[in-house]
C-alpha cells in the first residue's frame, strides 16, 4: 500500500459515508448492504482496549466508543483521518496501515477492521496476524469483516454474475484486489495460533472471529 493507494482514499473521503451508509451506488449496493448491522456485529464481539485498522471516517470507531471501549485508530489516508477526528476528537488516530503502524504501549484486548484486510496479499495477511498475536492479551480477539469467498468456485460465480450485470468497476476490484478464500484465511489464522470462525453477513462480507488458542505456538505455513 503506497501513496497512490492513499490518494485514492483521500479522494473518496468526501463521499465515502454516503456510499456505505445509503447504499445508493447500484454497482456496490450488495457489498455494503446491512452496513450498520455489520459494524454492530463487529463491535459486539470485542471489549476493552481496541486497536482498529483502516478506521476510514470513523463509523465503526463511533460504535466501539459508544460501547465504552477505548479505541486506538490506524488509518493511512490523511483526509479520512481528518474526518474521523472531527467526528471523534477524543480518539487517538495515527497514520499507518496493517503492517506499518505505531505499536501500542499496552496489550490490546481486540483488533478490528472492516472492509480493509483485502488490501494485503495472502503473505502479508500472514505477516500481519503473526504480529498481532504478540500484541493481544491472552483472551484477546481479532474480529474483521471483509469480502472473502467460500472457495475459488464461489469467486468465479460472483465475478461472472457481476459481469452479466455490467458491473465492470466491481469486477475490476474483485480481480485486482487481494480478496482471498475461507480455506486460505483459516490456515493463516490457525498457523499463527488462533481458532477462527466465519459467519456470512451479506452476499460479499463475512465476519472473521479469531481467538488465541491456549498454549499455542506459531507454525510457519
- Report if residue 216 sits inside a domain: no
- Report if residue 219 sits inside a domain: no
> Average pLDDT for residues 41-65, to the nearest whole number?
96
User: 22: domain CATH number?
Assistant: 3.40.50.150
pLDDT at 6 over 70: no
Task: Return the pLDDT at 15.
Answer: 60
Range of the domain at 182: 3-211
Please name the residues in contact with 214: beta carbons below 8 A apart, sequence gap of 6 or more: none
- Report if residue 11 sits inside a domain: yes
Q: pLDDT tier at 26 (50, 70, 90 boundaries)? A: confident
Mean pLDDT of the chain: 90
pLDDT at 2 over 80: no
pLDDT at 47 over 70: yes
- Report if residue 221 sits inside a domain: no
Task: Return the pLDDT at 92.
Answer: 94
Q: Residue 169 and residue 19: Cα distance in Å, rounded?
A: 15
- Report if residue 220 sits inside a domain: no
95: exposed, middle or buried (Cβ count in 10 Å: 0-12, 13-18, 19+)? middle
Task: Return the pLDDT at 8.
Answer: 57
> Average pLDDT for residues 40-54, to the nearest whole number?
97
- Report if residue 78 sits inside a domain: yes
Task: Return the pLDDT at 97.
Answer: 94
Q: Which residue has the cell 455494503?
A: 32
pLDDT at 217 over 70: no
Q: Count up the domains in the chain and report the number.
A: 1
pLDDT of 166-195, one tens digit each?
A: 999 999 999 999 999 999 999 999 999 999
> Average pLDDT for residues 5-23, to the nearest whole number?
57
- Report if residue 68 sits inside a domain: yes
pLDDT of 90-135, one tens digit each?
A: 999 999 999 999 999 999 999 999 999 999 999 999 999 999 999 9
Task: Return the pLDDT at 193.
Answer: 96
> Average pLDDT for residues 66-84, to the nearest whole number?
93
Q: Residue 187 and residue 58: Cα distance in Å, rounded?
A: 30
Task: Return the pLDDT at 121.
Answer: 96
- Report if residue 217 sits inside a domain: no
Task: Return the pLDDT at 23.
Answer: 64
DSSP line for the chain:
--HHHHHHHHHHTTTHHHHHHH---GGGHHHHTTHHHHHHHHHHT--SEEEEE--TTSHHHHHHHHTT-EEEEE-S-HHHHHHHHHH-TTSEEES--SSS-PPPSS-EEEEEEES-GGGS-HHHHHHHHHHHHHHEEEEEEEEEEEE-BSSHHHHHHHHHHHHHTT-HHHHHHHHHS---BHHHHHHHHHHTTEEEEEEE-SSSEEEEEEEEPTT------
Amino acid at each position: 500500500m503506497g501513496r497512490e493507494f492513499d490518494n485514492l482514499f483521500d479522494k473518496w473521503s468526501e463521499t465515502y459515508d454516503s456510499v456505505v451508509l445509503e447504499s445508493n451506488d447500484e454497482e456496490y449496493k450488495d457489498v455494503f448492504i446491512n452496513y450498520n448491522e455489520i459494524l454492530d456485529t463487529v463491535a459486539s464481539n470485542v471489549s476493552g482496549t481496541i486497536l482498529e485498522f483502516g478506521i476510514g471516517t470513523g463509523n465503526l470507531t463511533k460504535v466501539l466508543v459508544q460501547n465504552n471501549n477505548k479505541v486506538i485508530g490506524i488509518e493511512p489516508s490523511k483526509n479520512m483521518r481528518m474526518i474521523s477526528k472531527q467526528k471523534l476528537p477524543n480518539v487517538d488516530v495515527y497514520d499507518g496501515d496493517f503492517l506499518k503502524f505505531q505499536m501500542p504501549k499496552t496489550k490490546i484486548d481486540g483488533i478490528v477492521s472492516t472492509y480493509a484486510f483485502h488490501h494485503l496479499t495472502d503473505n502479508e495477511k500472514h505477516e500481519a496476524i503473526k504480529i498481532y498475536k504478540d500484541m493481544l492479551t491472552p483472551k484477546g480477539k481479532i474480529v474483521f469483516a471483509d469480502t472473502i469467498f467460500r472457495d475459488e468456485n464461489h469467486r468465479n460465480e460472483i465475478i461472472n454474475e457481476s459481469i452479466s450485470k455490467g458491473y465492470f468497476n466491481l469486477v475490476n476490484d474483485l480481480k485486482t484486489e487481494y480478496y482471498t478464500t475461507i480455506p486460505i484465511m483459516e490456515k493463516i489464522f490457525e498457523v499463527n495460533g488462533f481458532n477462527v470462525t466465519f459467519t456470512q453477513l451479506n452476499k460479499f462480507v463475512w465476519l472473521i472471529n479469531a481467538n488465541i488458542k491456549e498454549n499455542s505456538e506459531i507454525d510457519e505455513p
